[in-house]
Chains A and B, each alone.
Chain A
Amino acid sequence: MAYIANTPDDERIMLERIGLESLDDLFRHIPVELRLKHPLDVPPALSELELSQVIGDLTARNQGADQRVCFLGGGSFDHFIPAVVDQLAGRGEFFTAYTPYQPEASQGTLQAVFEYQTLICQLTGMEVSNSSLYDGASATAEAMLMAQAITGRRGKIVVAETVHPEYRQVLETFLACLEPRLEVVPGPTGVVDAPALEAAIDGDTAAVVFQHPNFLGRLEDARALVAAAHAKGALAIVVVDPVSLGLLAPPSTYGADIVVGEGQSLGNPMSFGGPYLGILACRGEYVRKMPGRIVGETVDRDGKRCWVLALQTREQHIRREKATSNICTNQGLLALRAAIYLAVMGPRGLKLAAESSTRKAHYAAQRLAAVPGLELAFPGPFFKEFVIRANVNPQALLASVLGQGYHGGIALGRFDRRLADCILVAVTEKRTSDEIDGLARAYEHAIADLTAAAPPGQRGKPQILASAGSK
């Protein structure tokens, strides 16, 4: 009852004014047989102090990146978050406002979103960005629907197997009740098989979806994949890591039509998977098919520059069942954090974050590949993630590495049985050379222990994986 302002006196006066005797009378028009006869079976109320204790105890049982050195990635990354991001985004005037339906009372949010859109355009080289979607995966699905609306093609969507498996699952879920089918093109060498991709695209393909850097960390031949899509009149949708764009060529330079990505890395905490930030930017000519809110510049009655929600006729509250997307609430606060992050990092700061991540990742790859029992699974150009193949069970290996103080990577068998001996390792600018050396030692110890413990006949590569060395 902590947040109710009315006193017992208020309650009495108010009930009297509306001609009722009790709070229960407020619900007299609800049929009595529908009403709940007993209190809800939920835990009893806690005071603020008790809540702090209960939640404090529970959260202390978690051992995340604050307790163990984190080499986990796969779409969520432990990048550094400058203090100003928390301080500024935490201001109540941003934090407790809602969608800027009244522009005269929301110029702070509107200008911040307009700046966010501009920053995303600067980063990707694209002409327009929306104000945010839920996350990278649903942004990819929205881009796919958008491509269908733009091309009018209903046949299929071609997606590279090297796109994040959860993103591919989301595409599948979205298409379950719609016309187009999803065709997955394999990536046996760690990048998508380009000739197979080209062959998969036909005259009724709305879009080609690939990720660059891809889920396994590798850089794709983006220019060739885009060209293959365009040759058949399909759109090219690329999933990017926004931090990588501090270093890598922006998607506009290789001809991407729609750029999507997970914006978590831009100043947003990992928070066990959400809330995150779906980035979506595209060519200017597609703006009327773009999902989600967009802020535009205009002038007020005195000719003063200002900002408003623009092109609202694309959205569900006007277009209803004809809208390309059903999105309403977006990730405004996360977009604000991303904008503050980019503003404080600037061009050199972002480049440094990207460059340090890639240098440290390459150092880590070199160190881990030198550990007996580990090898690089998919050698070739990569950004900040790489896959190692182990000659012992990855779950046991990672459990041992964890015991030594490291979240050492993600066992890829959870996504694909053919990768059951593989581990995805991510390295951000936060990791130090000492931590990387420590990780290599932890792997070395773990492999030594596991190999010593296993009966001689079972050493080396597990039988089941002997034929599954490559995907």
Chain B
Amino acid sequence: MYKLVQPPLLFESSRPGRATAVLPACDVPERPLDELIPREFLRQEPPPLPELGELDVVRHYTNLSTLNMSIDSNFYPLGSCTMKYNPKRNERMAALPGLWAQHPYQDERTLQGLLAILYDLQEILAEIAGLDAVSLQPAAGAQGELTALLVAARYFRERGESRGQVLIPDSAHGTNPASAHLSGFEAVTIKSDGRGLVDLADFKAKLSDQSAVFMMTNPNTVGLFDPQIREIADLLHAKGGLLYLDGANMNAILGIVRPGDMGVDLMHYNPHKTFSGPHGGGGPGAGPIAVREHLAPYLPAPVVARKAEGEYYLDHDRPHSIGRVRSFFGNTGVLFRAYCYIRSQGPAGLKRIAQHAVLNANYLKALVEDVYPVPYDGPCMHEFVASARAFAKERGVRATDIAKRLLDYNVHAPTIYFPLIIPEALMVEPTETESRETLESFAEILRAIAAENPELLHHAPHSTPISRPDEVRAAKQPVLSWK
């Protein structure tokens, strides 16, 4: 192992006159530029971009990449993010010109293969959800939430109802209340009970004819399946409200339970999580939504449809649609990989994903929970949330210290300080693609850290390219670009 060194910034490596020849000279008859475009529209000088040779660029990014942990190089149990293996075969498929060379406004007759794939994916996602109709348009989970809430808002408006509230558990992702606010609703918080599930009494107290939607994450962010979901759905439906499922944790229930069968009316998927899209250092994702029949007219346009004679087309003729939430069709590249992944699995394979995701989480929990207590105990689903509160109180070691120390052992840290209802939370999601040996070795590391000197942990990590950054300085004197 060599010492990793941060390369200088691109701009610091720039040398006037250095360049990479990429494009040919222009081959149409030359005319003075200001004959084409009046001078007042033009730049005085070329943009002040860095000047680099191709090898400079290659070394720069190759060296930068070695400073990252990634699924390809490390165990990455980042709770709630489902960091499973991203199959290479999907990348080979996505590199086919039949995907990347397709323009969104191409004649539909030249897109029949791609439209067939997207049509199939709509059908498959509806089947997995146990719901009736799907829109592939939203660009990420959060946009899926917003889209679904806009669908709900339109549904109530067309029924002549004005409902102003969206109910959200206190354990929910921050995107839920943010999406509720953007779609014009007031976010009303529902407490969790002593088991980490929805506090049914609080839910009943806050449920009213003002309740438009209850946004539930199930399995929830504590890693538990909430068996009250059917009862919640019935209570909500009796009041005329809709049940939304945040599909962040679909990996745990593929082929085991279907949201529609539990009373869910609308939901989003995170295909980059559940169906293995590469997370790309922060995206792209996609956020398709599935809804019940009576909500289908309000989905964004277009959707992929099929004529009787078998030809696929984009159906823009949707008079009740909420409109668009983004340009063009959707994050097709992400959806395409999800399709490849699902086709590689089949029905039994999808179920096995859920089984082994849950098996791995429960096994890992069993190996560490005597040292890292899990406040809301019981059989977990695909992830569990331990609390470092006892460490913090007794030894002054906080969740962040444990997370940082894990990096020294060459594994990525779990999600920390989320969900907010668990103090000093460590949220661990191993995923189904990790082996028993990996889990056991991770458990040994966690146990070893628990016995280490607090001083060592406060200063961790010790072997990463940098030590702990000064986040206060970054906030107080923000430097957001190189000058």
Residue of A nearest to B352 (CB): A1
A336 to B282, CA, bound (A): 10
- Answer whether residue A287 sits at the interface, using C-beta atoms and an 8 A cutoff: yes
Residue of A nearest to B362 (CB): A18
A188 CB to closest chain B CB, in angstroms? 21
B335 CB to closest chain A CB, in angstroms? 9
Whether A97 pairs with B70 at a CB distance below 8 angstroms is yes
Which residues of chain A have C-beta atoms less than 8 A from B255's C-beta? 36, 39-40
A434 CB to closest chain B CB, in angstroms? 8
A459 to B180, CA, bound (A): 54
Which residues of chain A have C-beta atoms less than 8 A from B93's C-beta? 51-52, 55, 59
Whether B72 pairs with A55 at a CB distance below 8 angstroms is no
Whether A4 pairs with B327 at a CB distance below 8 angstroms is no
Most buried by B among A1, A57, A98: A98
- The proximity string for A residues 84-105 relative to B, scoring 1 for CB distances below 8 Å and 0 otherwise, is 1011111111111111111111
- Answer whether residue A350 sits at the interface, using C-beta atoms and an 8 A cutoff: yes
Which residues of chain B have C-beta atoms less than 8 A from A352's C-beta? 23, 26
Using known A-B contacts A29-B379, A111-B9, A325-B178, determine if residue A320 contacts B359 with beta carbons closer than 8 Å.
Answer: no
Which residues of chain B have C-beta atoms less than 8 A from A350's C-beta? 46-47, 49
Whether B174 pairs with A320 at a CB distance below 8 angstroms is yes
Using known A-B contacts A105-B464, A134-B143, A340-B57, determine if residue A333 contacts B278 with beta carbons closer than 8 Å.
Answer: yes
Instruction: Give the number of chain A interface residues (Cβ < 8 Å).
Output: 206
Residue from B72, B89, B175 in contact with A96 in the complex, judged by beta carbons closer than 8 Å: B72
Whether A343 pairs with B57 at a CB distance below 8 angstroms is yes
- The proximity string for B residues 108-139 relative to A, scoring 1 for CB distances below 8 Å and 0 otherwise, is 00111110110010001001100000000001
Q: Identify which of residues 300-342 in chain A touch chain B, using a CB-to-CB cut-off of 8 Å.
A: 300-302, 304-308, 310-311, 313, 315-323, 325-334, 336, 339-340, 342
Whether A88 pairs with B461 at a CB distance below 8 angstroms is no
Whether A128 pairs with B480 at a CB distance below 8 angstroms is yes
- Answer whether residue A156 sits at the interface, using C-beta atoms and an 8 A cutoff: no
Whether A108 pairs with B42 at a CB distance below 8 angstroms is no
Most buried by A among B91, B255, B261, B280: B280
- Answer whether residue B237 sits at the interface, using C-beta atoms and an 8 A cutoff: no
Residue of B nearest to A106 (CB): B68
- Answer whether residue A187 sits at the interface, using C-beta atoms and an 8 A cutoff: no
Residue of A nearest to B149 (CB): A177
Which residues of chain B have C-beta atoms less than 8 A from A226's C-beta? none
A244 CB to closest chain B CB, in angstroms? 10
Whether B481 pairs with A102 at a CB distance below 8 angstroms is no
Residue from B18, B113, B181, B473 in contact with A60 in the complex, judged by beta carbons closer than 8 Å: B113
- Answer whether residue A265 sits at the interface, using C-beta atoms and an 8 A cutoff: no
- Answer whether residue B173 sits at the interface, using C-beta atoms and an 8 A cutoff: yes
Residue of B nearest to A24 (CB): B355
B242 CB to closest chain A CB, in angstroms? 15
A78 to B100, CA, bound (A): 10
B192 CB to closest chain A CB, in angstroms? 16
Using known A-B contacts A96-B70, A96-B71, A329-B283, determine if residue A88 contacts B470 with beta carbons closer than 8 Å.
Answer: no
Whether B103 pairs with A78 at a CB distance below 8 angstroms is yes
